[in-house]
Amino acid sequence: MTLNIILSQSEETHMFFGIDLTSTEANPSACLCLNAKLQIVFYGLLGADTEIAAAISLNSPQVVAIDAPLSLPLGLCCLEESCGCQSRNSWHGRLCEQELACRAAPCYFTTKKSIIRRMVYRGMALKDKVAQQGCKVIEVYPYASKVRLFGKPIPRKNMAKGRFWLREKLIALLKNRQPFLEQWNHDLCDAAIAAYTGFLYAHGKTEALGDVQEGLIYIPTNSCGRKEDG
């Protein structure tokens, strides 16, 4: 567990926690918490789901925004090809994922052939665990948030140019971002975008994609940044 506390715990109840979730606990997930002033409260790389839940409980955030699928397509009880459950949809994945593709922000579809099956299972379990703490848990997709906030083109985040570009964008969004922002990898940057999307959600500045019975993904409204076509 690596957690960097920037601000001491306060009585502020409006906190926003972002998670760039990985598929397994062996590969730490980037986590970051913002307060209502968009100051970074803490950030770090956390392994076990119990560690993530413990970090969340430090400040009981109003919103926890997770970058991972948090639900299955209608009709599916699992993602195992050996199981006879079938999706009710006439399209691949969930409706929210189809709507992301229509907004020039395609993602992995949640299907029985998905390469992120373990992440889906982990995300769903973590959502239930965190919701028991009284937090509102939402699904976000940082790439789509970046499209809405900054427009296209978006440099590849695994390249040095892309990381520099994203850090520069975060400087304009966050308050106490120096000097540690320069040390962040793209996972921590995405966790920050997730937390910021949670902040926007709490202020009524997100659009819900998908079917409420199946699962929603929240992205910033167009009014929060540049238009999709840049």
- Could you read off the pLDDT of 11-21 as tens digits, one per residue? 556 899 999 99
Contact yes or no for 72/65 (Cβ under 8 A): no
Residues 91 and 111: their CA atoms lie apart, in Å, by: 10
- Which residue(s) pair with 220 in the sheet? 206
User: pLDDT digits over 194-205, tens only?
Assistant: 999 999 999 999
Residues 142 and 167: their CA atoms lie apart, in Å, by: 14
Please enumerate in sequence order all residues whose Cβ is within 8 A of that of 197, keeping only pairs 6 or more positions apart, or say none.
Answer: 18, 65, 138, 140, 142, 145, 206, 218, 219, 220
Residues 64 and 60: their CA atoms lie apart, in Å, by: 9
Q: How far is CA 181 from the centre of its chain?
A: 18
Degrees to nearest 5, angle at CA 142 with 78 and 167: 145
H or E segment and range at residue 49: helix 49-57
Highest mean pLDDT among 38-47, 56-65, 76-85, 220-229: 76-85
Domain 2-224 falls in which CATH fold? Nucleotidyltransferase; domain 5 (3.30.420)
* pLDDT given for residue 210 in this prediction: 97
Confidence check: pLDDT of 217 > 80 = yes
* pLDDT given for residue 8 in this prediction: 61
Contact yes or no for 147/103 (Cβ under 8 A): yes
H or E segment and range at residue 44: strand 40-46
* pLDDT given for residue 10 in this prediction: 54
DSSP 154-220: ---TTSHHHHHHHHHHHHHH-SS-TTGGGG--HHHHHHHHHHHHHHHHHTT-EEEEEETTTEEEEEE
Q: DSSP alpha helices (H): ranges in 103-151?
A: 117-131, 142-150
Predicted TM-score (pTM) of the model is 0.92
* pLDDT given for residue 13 in this prediction: 63
Q: pLDDT over 70 for what percent of the chain?
A: 92
Confidence check: pLDDT of 229 > 50 = no
User: pLDDT digits over 66-117, tens only?
Assistant: 999 999 999 999 999 999 999 999 999 999 999 999 998 989 999 999 999 9
Mean pLDDT confidence for 27-47: 93
Confidence check: pLDDT of 223 > 60 = yes
